């Protein structure tokens, strides 16, 4: 039982390049989330998926797209990376279940855009 | 939308002392308040949470208190140990509708041995 896994752990991109961050959970959670973490700013929600087949924008969605491939997987895509997207990205699973809103986080992807 | 403010941004205590971190929130509909601990290079880990039908919750050396009228909640760590050193985040969310968490900006706790 790995919980929430993310790949890759580290990535360096040049401005304008594209890439997809992968996230998978084996905890049978209905909801999944993507956050970014910048120094001194806590975590900010990019996109979330309340259930398989649905996605919604969060606080900072510009420049990103997401795909909820199935219940386990939720990917984040940067179509044309910009230096402002240099950050640490965290995926979380959880919430959306009547009995709990607890969210469990993956280990993060550290992205640098040059 | 929700706004969560967290204080202090840094906190240094001596081993064995208590540490208190405070958060305020703006959305009166928020009713779930978790606290996360983040160690260097890792993802946030849930340490304790509280729902709005409860005023206080304890788990060994950590406790959380909630004042819904004043819209603030606090994390209390007693008998601090060096391994408590980390960044702590408070968060808030609703139980219905959009359940995504809104985070505070974090508190870096340093426990001096």
Please, which pLDDT band fits residue A67 given cuts at 50, 70 and 90? very high
The nearest CA of chain A is from the CA of B47 a distance in Å of 11
Strands A87-94 and A32-37: antiparallel
C-beta of residue B93 within 8 angstroms of C-beta of residue B74: no
CB contact under 8 A, A44 and B99: no
Q: Name the residue facing B43 among A31, A101, A106 (closest C-beta).
A: A106
Please, which pLDDT band fits residue A39 given cuts at 50, 70 and 90? confident
Specify the DSSP element, H or E, that contains A39: none
- The mean pLDDT of A75-89, rounded to a whole number, is 97
CB contact under 8 A, B106 and A95: no
CB contact under 8 A, B100 and A108: no
Which residues from A are below 8 Å from B34, CB to CB? 101-103
Which residues from A are below 8 Å from B104, CB to CB? 42
pLDDT in tens, B9-62: 999 999 999 999 999 999 998 988 999 999 998 999 999 999 887 799 999 999
CB contact under 8 A, B46 and A58: no
Average pLDDT along chain A: 90
Strands A109-113 and A87-94: antiparallel
Map residue A25 onto helix, strand or coil.
strand
């Amino acid at each position: 039982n790995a919980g929430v896994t993310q790949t890759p752990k580290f990535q360096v991109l040049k401005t304008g390049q594209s890439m997809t961050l992968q996230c998978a959970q084996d905890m049978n959670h209905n909801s999944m989330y993507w956050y970014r973490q910048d120094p001194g700013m806590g975590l900010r929600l990019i996109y979330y998926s309340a259930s398989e087949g649905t996605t919604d924008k969060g606080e900072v969605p510009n420049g990103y797209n997401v795909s909820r491939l199935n219940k386990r997987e939720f990917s984040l895509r940067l179509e044309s990376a910009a230096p402002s997207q240099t950050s640490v990205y965290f995926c979380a699973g959880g919430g959306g279940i009547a009995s709990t809103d607890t969210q469990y986080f993956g280990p993060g992807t550290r992205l640098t855009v040059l | 939308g929700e706004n969560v403010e967290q204080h202090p941004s840094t906190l240094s205590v001596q081993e064995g002392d208590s540490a208190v971190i405070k958060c305020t929130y703006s959305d009166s509909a928020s009713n779930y308040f978790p606290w996360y601990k983040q160690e260097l290079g890792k993802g946030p880990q849930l340490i304790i949470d509280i729902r709005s039908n409860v005023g206080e919750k304890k788990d060994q050396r950590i406790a959380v208190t909630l004042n819904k009228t004043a819209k603030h909640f606090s994390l209390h760590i007693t008998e601090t140990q060096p391994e408590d050193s980390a960044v702590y985040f408070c968060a808030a969310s609703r139980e219905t509708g959009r359940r995504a968490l809104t985070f505070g900006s974090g508190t870096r706790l340093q426990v001096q041995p």
